[in-house]
Structure 1
Amino acid sequence: MSSGTQPIESVGPGEDVRVAFMLNGQQHDVEVPTSTVLLTMLRRDLNLTGVRGSCERGVCGVCTVLVDDRPVASCSLFAFDVDGTSVETIEGQQDGDHLSPVQQAFSECGGFQCGYCTPGMILLTTALLRTNAKPDREEVRQWIGSNICRCTGYEMILEAVERAGELVRDRDEEDNL
């Protein structure tokens, strides 16, 4: 067993390693086998089932989470790679009883159908709006293009991202008053 301070290189295959990280604003310390990917740790060990798996190859975007504010495919990142980082999942987007501006926009605009890709889309949108609160349609397409939606045709998702930008800008203006 790893003590958490032992470098991952010194842990043998099949051995457990301790992963200490911030998850949705709270400190977590989890011990997992070195072969565990982040998606598995989140779902199996931390019971965060909002993050979903699909392709298990890092190409569909369904399993997107934010690691230090950057979107990553949790199915293709080892759990030990998040040691010392901050991870955000869909479960961390809501503020108490209030939806985040992005969640609110997806709800208002019907930016989902079956909902399977929605957590990843919301996290991609969150990351985009943190870098640019007023993206143009082409930039939105580029960002959400990494998450495959098989149901909507993307138009409602594009509208939801644009609406989310409006809500974020409105919130930021209120905060500055």
Structure 2
Amino acid sequence: MTVQRADARRNYALILAVAEGEVAAHGADASLEQIARTAGVGSATVRRHFPSRRVLLEAVFSHRIDALCARAVELADADDPRAALLEWLSALTTYATTARGMADALIQDGTDEADHVNACAVRLGDAVDPLLHRASRAGAVAPEVTTADLVSLVTGLALATERHPDPAAEANRLLALAVQGISPQK
């Protein structure tokens, strides 16, 4: 295992953070050159850490999925299971609206990337299942609702709003409307 120098670790983290912002703004076609300029590093530094667009997109995708999984774990013991699940769904919705074209770009590059996307979906499901089960046990969510249902709902909302001037706000507005159908009234 190679140990990276501190400046290399900082550059990696900076490039990844900038790439997340560029992907959120421009989708999977975000410019690697713009990412390098915004990060204040050379194109060679970007390519050293991320030899291809696919590798960079995988890193962005995985980093965002990790953050969503961590948020689900943080919310797992919240006092209000319904509010916790809805907070997580809102975070997923915001992510989905800012990850335009990521899954498609990864899948189009070959079967390994499709496996990567599927593995991320499994990780996401494993992280949110406890939130959903807890909300269901509390009577805050209909018992037949599955994690796959929620992810499909959010994916549909993201696709339906991707051309909206503020996709995240519109998708979250629509999510609030949909919640009335998946969550019993209190």
Quick check: TM above 0.5?
A: no
* TM-score normalised per structure 1: 0.29
Larger Rg: 2
* TM-score normalised per structure 2: 0.28
Identify the structure with the greater strand proportion: 1
Identify the structure with the greater helix proportion: 2
